Amino acid sequence: MREKIIAIYDELFQRYPSLEREKDNIMKTFEIIRSCYSNGGKLLVAGNGGSAADAEHIVGELMKGFIKPRMLDKEFKEILIQINKDLGVELSEAIQGALPAIAVVDHVALSTAFLNDVNPKMSFAQQVNGYGTKNDVFFGISTSGNSENIIYASIMAKAKGLKVIGLTGRDGGKLKDYCDTCVIVPETETYKIQELHLPIYHALCLMLEEEFF
């Protein structure tokens, strides 16, 4: 593994020693997402409240440059320019490489229609059913590990053959039983759990960017 990736990983535990106990699970999380992207998959991310904001934050770091410019390769730039010389040049200079990720918390018309017509607790599961394909990963964030909509979505993800990653606190709750790996931070209060979630997913996004760009 690249030295830079290991440096990012090690720095996380230097800055947040309490996360040392989750060292193996954090690396396993990275390896699952790396395999997903290496095989043409995408990341589906969900959470509630502050964790919904975290889901959007993760997608924001993956879908554009985080700390690297992620320039497009020369061949693709040439294709853009062949289609339209002027606009293709603009696109080739501005567009950045992306790691495909979708926050399933964002689709208001779909989610409100489903919660009104069917079951509000299964809206995320419906989107996992619609978006999820082979090689994808579902990333469920729940500070308690017991968010019912996250658990429904995790069950759907496993049924469709997706890998499931959990990011939780306390004792991991019921969610950990459906995860291929579950990072359980050593806090019990919601805001303190969320404060430790952020450096974990920042480190993961940095490691993934280093791997693919």
Determine the pLDDT at residue 112.
Answer: 95
Domain final residue, candidates 55, 79, 97: 97
Specify whether 203 is located in the same domain as 141. Answer: yes
Specify whether 106 is located in the same domain as 189. Answer: yes
State mean pLDDT over 17-21: 98
Specify whether 133 is located in the same domain as 208. Answer: yes
Determine the pLDDT at residue 1.
Answer: 65
Q: Is the pLDDT of residue 192 over 80?
A: yes
Specify whether 73 is located in the same domain as 93. Answer: yes
| Long-range contacts from 150-156, C-beta under 8 angstroms, 24+ separation | 150/46, 150/47, 150/48, 150/124, 150/175, 151/175, 151/178, 152/121, 152/122, 152/124, 152/125, 153/46, 153/104, 153/124, 153/125, 153/127, 153/128, 154/178, 154/179, 155/125, 156/125, 156/128, 156/129, 156/132
Specify whether 160 is located in the same domain as 147. Answer: yes
Total number of domains constituting the chain: 2
Q: Is the pLDDT of residue 53 over 90?
A: yes
- Parent domain of 79: 68-97
Specify whether 53 is located in the same domain as 108. Answer: yes
pLDDT top residue among 194 and 106: 194
Determine the pLDDT at residue 186.
Answer: 98
Specify whether 83 is located in the same domain as 136. Answer: no
